[in-house]
Amino acid sequence: ARLVVLVSGSGSNLQALLDASADPAYGAQVVAVGADRDGIAGLDRAAAAGVPTFVDAVKAYETRDDWDAALAAHVAEFKPDLVVSAGFLKLVGPQFLAAFGDRYINTHNALLPSFPGIHGPRDALAYGVKIAGATLFFVDAGVDTGPIIAQVAVPVLDDDTEDTLTERIKVAERAQLVEFVGRLVREGWTIQNRKVRIP
């Protein structure tokens, strides 16, 4: 199966997918990596793995709609079976969702619907929850609002800082993402109406 991964930052989730797909038995390959900005580690990781990359910055287009259409067109060139947002910090628009909404997943570093947005671990720590985690979900038009596929929990420890909690979540998050994508492909799971069907 063909994966296109979208990134905006460090790309550690991308790296986990690249590492997993180095084994042909995994069943999925990262065929392209897209970003909304240049100069990020995620693009370097793709290049190091010999995976083609493209950058579509919002500001390179006259309107947000133009950007949305261009991103959808770039992704479509690689004919993905699944598109993975892995730390991609842009909300896609209606054209992208029309093309890929049935196979566009995102991973978020909090247990949704708690703590959506870009500071999941920080917000969880500030609230004082004792369990944190990561959520894999189908992307819709909202911020971290789409149908949930899977969640994984980790404890919040008394001496946690934002960094230590973030790192604990990311370890579990990467494993969850790699496992879901692999099982989807190898076990013939299908997606209908943003719901996973297990044969």
The reply to whether 64 sits in an annotated binding site is yes
Q: Which stretch binds ligand GRF (CB under 6 A): 8-16, 45-53, 71-79, 185-193?
A: 8-16
Residue 176 lies near ligand GRF (rule: CB under 6 A): no
Long-range Cβ contact pairs of 141-147 (< 8 A, separation 24 or more)? 141/91, 141/94, 141/97, 143/91, 143/116, 143/117, 144/106, 144/108, 144/112, 144/113, 144/116, 144/117, 145/112, 145/113, 145/116, 146/106, 146/194, 147/194, 147/195
CB under 6 A: which stretch of 2-10, 44-52, 70-78, 152-160 binds ligand GRF? 2-10
CA distance 66 to 73: 10
With CB atoms as reference, the residue minimizing the distance to ligand GRF is: 87
> Per the annotation, does 130 bind a ligand?
no
Does the footprint of ligand GRF cover residue 107 (CB under 6 A)? yes
Shortest distance in whole angstroms from residue 9 CB to ligand GRF = 4
Distance CA 130, CA 125 (A): 8
Contact set for ligand GRF, span 31-90 (CB under 6 A): 42, 86-87
**Is 119 in the active site?**
no
Q: Which of the following is catalytic: 45, 103, 108, 122?
A: 108
User: Interface mask (CB under 6 A) for ligand GRF, residues 132-171, using x and -?
Assistant: --------------------------------------x-
Class of residue 53 by CB neighbours under 10 A (exposed 0-12, middle 13-18, buried 19+) = middle
Tokens 């879901």 sit on residue = 180
The only residue of 5, 11, 96, 103 in contact with ligand GRF, by rule CB under 6 A: 11
The secondary structure element, H or E, covering residue 187 is none
Asked whether the beta carbons of 160 and 90 are under 8 A apart, the reply is: no
Q: Give yes or no for residue 21 binding ligand GRF (CB under 6 A).
A: no
Burial class (CB in 10 A: 0-12, 13-18, 19+), 98: exposed
When the beta carbons of 47 and 73 are compared against ligand GRF, the nearer one is 47
Question: Which tokens in the block code for residue 117?
Answer: 């947005």
**Residue 9 within binding range of ligand GRF, rule CB under 6 A:** yes
Active site positions, annotated: 108
Known binding-site residue numbers for (6R)-10-formyltetrahydrofolate: 64, 89-92, 106
The binding site for ligand GRF (CB under 6 A) comprises 7, 9-14, 42, 86-87, 107-109, 170, 173
